[in-house]
Structure 1
Amino acid sequence: MAVLAWLLIPLLTAIGAGLWGSWAGRNRKAAGDGSELAGYARFREAMEKSHSGT
């Protein structure tokens, strides 16, 4: 019975690694990119204004 327990440890570890890998590689929605890009555009405009005066 102890041998079976030692064989189950790597099996369960492999299953857990497979589940984690599929979760980590999932497709994520890029819904938040629009606001970040708009903020970056505002930042660039502000930097251009501050450098155009000097």
Structure 2
Amino acid sequence: MAVLTWLLIPLFAAIGAAIWGSWASRDRTTGDVAELAGYARFREVMERSDSGSGPA
């Protein structure tokens, strides 16, 4: 039984490494498109807005 335990430890480590590797290399660009669009809208609004330093 002890031999089986020592053989299962590397097997579980390899499975864990494969899961972690697939998670670490996932495509994370899907959220960037929405964030960049929001930032572009923010910049447009800031360029159009009055700074408030004019006469009151």
Shift >3 Å, 4+ stretches: none
TM-score, with length taken from structure 2: 0.55
Q: Distance in 1 between matches of 2:28 and 2:16?
A: 23
Matched with 1:46 is 45
Partner of 1:14: 13
Q: How well do the aligned residues superpose, as a CA RMSD in angstroms? A: 2.5
Higher helix share: 1
With normalisation by structure 1, the TM-score equals: 0.56
> Gaps (5+ residues) in structure 1?
none
Q: Which has the larger radius of gyration?
A: 2
